[in-house]
Amino acid sequence: MPYPIPPKRKAGKAWGILGAVAGVLVLGTVASNAGIRGGGGSSGGASGPKYRITVPQTLAGGKYKLAKDISQQAGSAVPSDGDNEHNVKAAGGQYSSGTKSLVMLGLYGTIDDPETTVDHTIRGMTRDGKTEVAVTEKEFTPSGGGDSLTCGVDERTEMGQKVTLTFCVWADSSTSGNVAETDASELSKDPYSVDLQEFADKADKIRSEVRKPLG
């Protein structure tokens, strides 16, 4: 069954909020690159980058369609070298699926300490004064197995509207990624009602779609 189409006024508001959400992810990515508390640890990227981040036309098995490529916007804001990431490039997009809107933003290059990148990214998302932690993040292993992701729920106040923002972040020695979603049909959804394992499974699928081997 197709998703219901939200009223135009609400859909327009949702897209305005989505642009702000993209800005939140860029802010987190900048914080990740700059290092909001000290430098990294292990030299995870010592063997050189293995992957890059792409911006496919669809995500999650075709459920989400690309509405806007934000790679240039993110790339102009994120420095190529930081305390923990080096020679990095940014890639990302805004996607839609019925009433749901999703932003994917990633970095690729050399990452010294992936855990530091994840921590800085998540902390950076709440540094704008409008976004607060609603459900504290924790690690999730995808139901099908594989590398874990760190997922949680934030609440953002935008245009007088309280918005529930579900997100997952991952990082390895050559990529980091952040996936965040809102739903125009329930912008102020109870954060504790979000199924984070389900969202982690979705984000894991998206990771497999956007992270591609170099060369």
Most confident stretch, 16-20, 27-31, 64-68:
64-68
- pLDDT 10s digits, 45-61: 456 789 999 999 999 99
- pLDDT tens digits for range 165-196: 999 999 999 999 999 999 988 889 999 999 99
The CATH number of residue 18's host domain is 3.40.1000
Virtual torsion, Cα 150, 198, 179, 140, nearest 10 deg: 10
pLDDT of residue 161: 81
- Name 141's Cβ contacts closer than 8 Å, sequence gap at least 6: 148, 200
Measured CA to CA, the distance from residue 32 to residue 40 in angstroms comes to: 10
2 belongs to a structural domain? no
Among all chains, which residue has been given the structure tokens 């935008």? 158
Is the predicted pLDDT of residue 100 greater than 60, yes or no? yes
Tell me, yes or no, whether 3 lies in a domain. Answer: no
What integer pLDDT is reported at residue 105 of this predicted model? Answer: 93
Q: What percent of the chain has pLDDT over 90?
A: 57
Residue 88, Cβ density class (10 Å: 0-12 exposed, 13-18 middle, ≥19 buried): buried
CA distance 185 to 58: 21
Which two structure tokens, joined as six digits, stand for 159?
């245009």
The pTM score is 0.85
- The pLDDT tens digits of the residues spanning 67-97 come to 999 999 888 888 888 888 899 999 999 999 9
Region of 35 please: left (phi>0), alpha (psi -120 to 50) or beta.
Answer: left
CA 181 to CA 21: how far, in whole Å?
Answer: 9
What strand order describes the sheet that includes 131-140? 58-59, 64-69, 85-97, 100-111, 175-183, 161-171, 149-158, 131-140
Query: 134 pLDDT exceeds 80?
Result: yes
Residue 120 has pLDDT above 50, yes or no: yes
Number of compact structural domains in the chain = 1
Closest CA to 172 of 199, 198, 207: 207
**Could you tell me if residue 130 is inside a domain?**
yes
pLDDT of residue 139: 98
Is residue 41 included in any domain, yes or no? no
- pLDDT at residue 125 tops 90: no
Question: What pLDDT is stored for residue 3 in this prediction?
Answer: 34
The whole-chain average pLDDT of the chain stands at 84
Residue 188, domain member (yes or no): yes
Range of the domain at 31: 8-36+46-213
